[in-house]
Every structure is written in C-alpha cells, then in structure tokens.
Structure 1
Amino acid sequence: MTIHENVQQLVQSVRLYFPDLWSTRTHSITFRNTRGGYLRSRLTLLGIVWGILIVLWIPFDLFFLPQDQGYPIAIARLCLGGMLAFIAWQAHYRTKLKHAQQLITLMVLCLNIFYIYSISVLDFPQVYSGFIYGYTLLPIIHVAILTIFPITLKENLGLMAITACCQIGVDILANRLLSPENLAGYWLQNVLALMVIWSQQSKLYMLMRLYRQATLDPLTGIYNRRMLLQLAQKAMENCEQEKQPFTVLLFDIDKFKRVNDTWGHGAGDMVLRGFTQFIQSRIRKTDLFGRYGGEEFVLFLPNCDHQQAIEIAERTLQSLRSLKIAIEIDNAHLMITSSIGISSFTHGDSLSSLIDRADRALYECKDAGRNCYRYHALGQLHHHTERRRKIA
C-alpha cells in the first residue's frame, strides 16, 4: 500500500469516527450505557486507590513541613481523601453516563481545589527542588490521571481547562507566569496533555469498535439478534411495570432468495441495506430495530398497542411498494415487498412467546400470498398443525 493510500485511509477513518470521538451526540443509548458502566468502574477504583494514597502521604507532610503548614495541609488531605471515597461510593451506585461525567468533573474540581489551597498554605513556593516542589507538579498529575478514562475529546478539553485555569491563576498570584522555568513546565504539560488525549481517544475508539462488533450486524449496521433480544427484554419488562403496551413487528422480505439467484449476493446485500435504511427512517428513537436472521427483521414498539402497530404496518407496506433500490448492476433498480407478522404483549407473555406469535402471523402472510400483514392475538390458533417450509 502506497503512502498516498495510507493517508487516504487515515483521512477516511478520521472523517468517519471524529463525530463519535468528539462528543456523545451521535452515540446510541446502549453505547452510552456501556461507556457509562466502563467509566464508573474505573472511577470507583481510582477514587479508592487515589484516596488511600492521598491520606498515606500525611506523615510525610507532618515530618518535612513546618507545623503551621503541615497540619493545615494534612487536614486538607483528609478532606480530599474523604471526597474521593464519596466519589467512589457514588460511582458504584449511580448507573447513568451523566452521573459518571458529573463525578469525574467533581473529582477534577476537588483535586484542583486541594492544589490551590496547598500552594497558598505554602505561600506560593518559587523553588524548583526539594519536598515542596512536588506540590507544584500536582497539575501534571491531574492531567495524567485522566488517561485511564475513555472520554470524548469535548469532555477531555473541558476537564483539562479546569486544571489549566487553576494552574494559570496560581502562577499569576505567585508572579511566575512567564518565568523560564514555568514556561518549560507548560511545554512539558502540553506534550503530556497531547499524549493523554491520544490515549483517551484510542481507548474510546477501541471500545466503540468492540461494542459495534459485539452488538451490531456487520452488513446493515443495526442491532444483531443477541443485542436486540437483550434490549427488547428490558423494554418489555419496563412496559409491563408501567402498564404500557408493547408490540412486535416481524418483517420478511418477500422472495429474497430469487434476488440472490438472479442478481447475485452482492445485490442481495444492497437490498438488505436499502430495506434497513427504509425502516430506520420511519421509526421512533425509542423503537428497537434489528436483524433477526437472513432476510428477517424485527421491530419492537414500546408504548404502542396492536391497533397502532397495524396502522404502522399498513403505512410501511404502502410506502415500501414504491421503494426502488439501486443495485449497481446495469443501472438496475429493484422493487421489493415484505410480509409482516404482528403480535402484542399480553399479561403472562414472555419475549419468546411474543415473537413466536408474530412468527405464526408471518406464515399466515405467506399463505395469503405475501405483501401483507397479519396480527396474532394470544390464544389464536394457527391454521396448520405443522409448520410449513418457508418458500423463498
């Protein structure tokens, strides 16, 4: 591969992933939850370990510092250790991403407040060696500890800005902002900040790729069967607790095997992607849509009863009949239809029984000639005692 191709590949990757690396705006709800759990676990461990280390340093302060400086800083260390323990405890019990973000911000604020207080107690030291010198290096440590968090670039810049503002404020009060030693320290800290950002973005990028490989269908980019059923189970339980309706639509692209046999599997893949984009453009953010297997797709509709689902199915089939999917073969466009099996949650249902009724309804669509929908209520019997072989 030439240098030009490498550069093009790098630019394409940056263009593809930069919105995800910049902020959480484009992240899915499930990925936010996944990253929130990842941040919480690291924040809990960091709060415990860092809090213990902060407190264990108290004897050194009392031994090496004068009494009028050692005792106030020791008390401040106890307070900081207590806050870090509190942050660790909160991170363990809070489950949402925004809670993890808030706790990380609180941790950075507490560390910087301790830095400002300790430097003021030490009367803004000008020396660059000895025991006191360690306190002037605290901002560098505050930047370095952010390395363990897979946070977005926007989040990282906000946290680093807190440390930078505190450090600049201290240097102004100490009248050393433009001293050669201080400028060299800033240079070192900026280099470290770039390395931290690189490490964070690498972690976030890897976490995102692993998440997508584990939860998304590689062809269509929607939820795979395993992840879809996990999310649907939770959504169904929430609807049951809140006494809200919950409905499932099971789609099957009609005569899909004929597309593969006539135009090839590449054209079949384009049809699957085109159908996916078509459905995604017509669903709510709260709906769960995924690939169930082959040419079958499932749409779970929280807070939607069977009558509303039937209306959705009617509109979908009507719009689908006019859809033309380009297959990049002789400038051809394919038109497709779909059959839709519908079932709605009833008390005592399981997710398996709900999908099974939608599946039976789908087979009735096949018996009726395809390109239609059927609804299966609880207790409704299928017309055939034996499952018919699906005809492509």
Structure 2
Amino acid sequence: MPNSSYVGSYDRRQHVNKSRAVLNSNKSFFARHSTVGDVVSTNHHSKDFIQTRNQYIVERLKLICLFFAITVPVSSLLDFIVFENVQAQLLLINRLILSCALIGLYQLIRRVSTVNMTRLVLALSFLFPVLFYTATELSLTQTMAYRNIPLSFTLTPYLIVAMLGLFPLTIAEGVALLSVISLPLAILEYIQYAGNYAAVIDKLWLFVLFGGISLWLQLGQMVMLMKLYRESTIDSLTGLINRRVLMRQVEDISKNSKRVQKSFSVMMCDLDFFKRVNDTYGHLVGDQVLVKVSSLLKHELRNPDVIARFGGEEFMVVMPHLELDQATHVGLRIADVIRKSSVMTDEQQEITFTASIGVTQYIAGEPIAQLFKRVDDLLYQAKEQGRDRVENTLALEPHKL
C-alpha cells in the first residue's frame, strides 16, 4: 500500500496544483499556440525545445567561429594595400589575437555545449570582434585622421551587429547581445567625441537600423524553428509531446536519476474499448475523448511529470523521483478521475469511458526499451484481467477498482 504520509502530502500538493492549473490554463494555451510569448523570452519554451534550439545555435556558432578565425588574419592582405605599413602590421597583430580568441571559443563550445556555455560563447564571439575594432581604431586615430580610415573598416561594428541575425534568438536575448556590443562602442565614441554631435547621431541611427534588422531576422528564425519543432514533436490534437520527444526526455531523466540516486516510475494508460467509441459515435467524438483525457492528465499530474501521447489512444507518463507505491497511488487516482469524466455529443448524449493502466519503476542501469516493455506488459495484463484497473510490478495482487 502507498505510504500514508506521502499520500496525504501528495494529495494536498495536487490540490494546490489543480488551483494553479486553472489559473495558468490560459498561459499554457498561450505557450502552446502563440508565437508572441515564444519570441519575447524563453520562459514559455519547453526543456526539450531549449535543448533543440541550443544544438542548432551551437552548430552555427562553431561554424562562424572557425570561419572567422581563418578569414580574419587573411584579411591582412587587404590591410597592407589600404593602410601604411606600420598600421597594417598593427592590424595584423590584432587580427592574430582575435583569431586565437575565436579558435579558443570554437574549442570551448565543441567540448562543452550546455545552454549556459552556449550563451557565454555566443556573447564572447561578438564581444571579441567589437573589442578588436575599438582597440584598433583607437590605435589608428593616433596616427591618421578618422576620415582617412577606409569605409570597409569603419563599417565593421555594423556588420557584426548584422551577423546576429544568423541565430534564432528571443527579443530578450537579442537586446542583451546588442547591449554587450554597444557598450565598448559607446566608450569609444565618448573617448573620441570632438563636439560633432551630428556624427554621433548618424552612427547611432546606423546602429539602431542594423540592430533592428538583426532582431527582425532573429525573431523570424525563432518563429520558423518553433513552428517546425511543434509540427514534428507536438501532437496537434492533444498538445502533448510525441514518442520521439518522450524517448529523449526519459533518457535525460534516467541519467539524472543515476546522478541524484533517485529512481522514477512510468505509467502507461490505454482507453478501454476506444474503437467502439469511434465506431458508434464517430471519430470527432473519439477526438473529444482523447482531448478530455489529455486535459485530465495535465490537470492531475505534477509539473515535473512528462506526459506524452504514445499511440492512438495510449498515453505514457514519466514521474521523476516517485517510487512504485507512490506512482501506483497516482495511477489509481487517474483511473478514478477518468472513470468519473465524460464528454457530450452534439445530440447532448453523455459518453463515459474508462482506462486500463500499467505502472512500473525504473531499475537502475536497465535499458529504456526494457522499462517500456515491462509497463506495456502490465497494461496488457490489466486489460486481460477485465480492464478499468491498475497493474504494477510489486503488488501481490492486482489493484481492483
């Protein structure tokens, strides 16, 4: 039997979660269906999408760091044509320093590609070229008039800003990066200011113009990436993740369970006689049932629990840090909630339904495929024993409902 103290605390926590779920229902819908929240910040992004986008950024970041680590020193060939020999040599030294810094960033992101590391390397990969520009221009203006500096060099900061458009970033991230880039440039303008405010306004306008275009491109990429992600990973009917995303998340949960030395449980839920519902009332009513069950699962389970539509009328739930007896109690409650729920047809006919559930606990070191097979076997056993029941691996007798 489930631990009584745990059951009480779990039920109280569920009551809080239910209230919170009602208050956040609009937020959840907004997060799933609106692109506005997606492009403002990462607050609405799922953990899986954050990892997917991170990998996308990492691949582009590695390519850009490596590309410019090679091309920046090569650009010195042009410096010796448009600058005096002494100035070109100074540029060469600075370019070599920048190239070494970019190579270091490439090696860093290649070895460690966590989300926080990616953010750090992304910021540095744009900050270093800006620092190269500011340091070089300060040196050049000591030996030559600013108007004599080639346009190809004075446009460098604007080109750096434009390259931000290569990454799918949120508004918050884009503005933060623009702030990082603008700080050294603002200091440079302060040092070089000679009373010509019109020239400062002109540069500021160019920076805002290039920054605005860059932000627009970033947001366009974010929307496109989110759209493609949702189409390939989210079930359009229920809003739940699909099997592919579930497998990735279970792998992460199993690795985390080894690290914190806490197990987790999985629950497989299958609607009883669902084909009969489709055949009798039509597939639209069947879809209503699926949406209802998915809504019940999201409402009843905890925020850390992972819920996926595993098949046609099958749902899989992964419950981190729950032992088998605790997870069995959750399964019994879910089965009871489903049994008491219903949907209405267009003819105002009430349709009720039940579910068979299998529950098992992860055994440290076992393959995920074996874990899933065991819970699937338990689900099949629940159906063989008469349906509308919960089966687990540790109970001496089936849990009769």
TM range (shorter): 0.7 to 0.9
Q: How does 1:69-80 map to 2 (within 5 A)?
A: 69-80=87-98
Which one of the candidate residues 344, 352, 370 is aligned to 2:369?
352
CA distance in 1, matches of 2:133, 2:350: 66
Q: How does 1:307-346 map to 2 (within 5 A)?
A: 307-325=325-343, 327=344, 329-330=346-347, 334-346=351-363
CA distance in 2, matches of 1:169, 1:351: 55
> Would the alpha carbon gap of residues 50 and 331 (structure 1) be closer, same or farther in structure 2, given more than 3 Å must change?
farther
CA distance in 2, matches of 1:241, 1:123: 56
Which residue identity is paired with 1:298? M
CA contact (8 A) 2:102 2:125 kept: yes
Residue in 1 that maps onto 2:14: none
| Structure 1 unaligned regions, length at least 5 | 1-11, 383-392
Instruction: Give 1:60 shift.
Output: 4.2
The farther-off stretch of 169-178 and 93-102 is 169-178
CA distance in 2, matches of 1:120, 1:353: 64
Report percent identity of matched pairs: 27
SS at match of 2:388: coil
Q: How does 1:208-247 map to 2 (within 5 A)?
A: 208-236=226-254, 238-239=256-257, 243-247=261-265
Which residue identity is paired with 1:365? A
Residue in 2 that maps onto 1:57: 75
1:21 aligns with 2:26: no
Residue in 2 that maps onto 1:280: 298
**Structure 1 residues 63-105: Cα deviation after superposition (integer angstroms, max 9, x where no partner):** 6445664444432222211111111111111121221111111
**Structure 1 residues 157-216: Cα deviation after superposition (integer angstroms, max 9, x where no partner):** 111122333333323332268654554444344333232222222222121122222222
Q: How does 1:1-392 map to 2 (within 5 A)?
A: 16-61=34-79, 64-66=82-84, 69-123=87-141, 127-128=146-147, 130-175=148-193, 179-236=197-254, 238-239=256-257, 243-325=261-343, 327=344, 329-330=346-347, 334-346=351-363, 349-376=366-393
More helix by share: 2
> Would the alpha carbon gap of residues 13 and 97 (structure 1) be closer, same or farther in structure 2, given more than 3 Å must change?
closer
Instruction: Give 1:54 shift.
Output: 1.7
Task: State the 4+ residue runs in structure 1 displaced beyond 6 angstroms.
Answer: 12-15
**Structure 1 residues 127-149: Cα deviation after superposition (integer angstroms, max 9, x where no partner):** 44x54433321210111111211
RMSD: 3.2
> Would the alpha carbon gap of residues 372 and 41 (structure 1) be closer, same or farther in structure 2, given more than 3 Å must change?
same
Q: Which has the higher contact order (CA 8 A, sep 6+)?
A: 2
CA distance in 1, matches of 2:83, 2:366: 69
CA distance in 1, matches of 2:32, 2:249: 30
**Structure 1 residues 96-119: Cα deviation after superposition (integer angstroms, max 9, x where no partner):** 122111111112221221222112
CA distance in 2, matches of 1:107, 1:350: 40
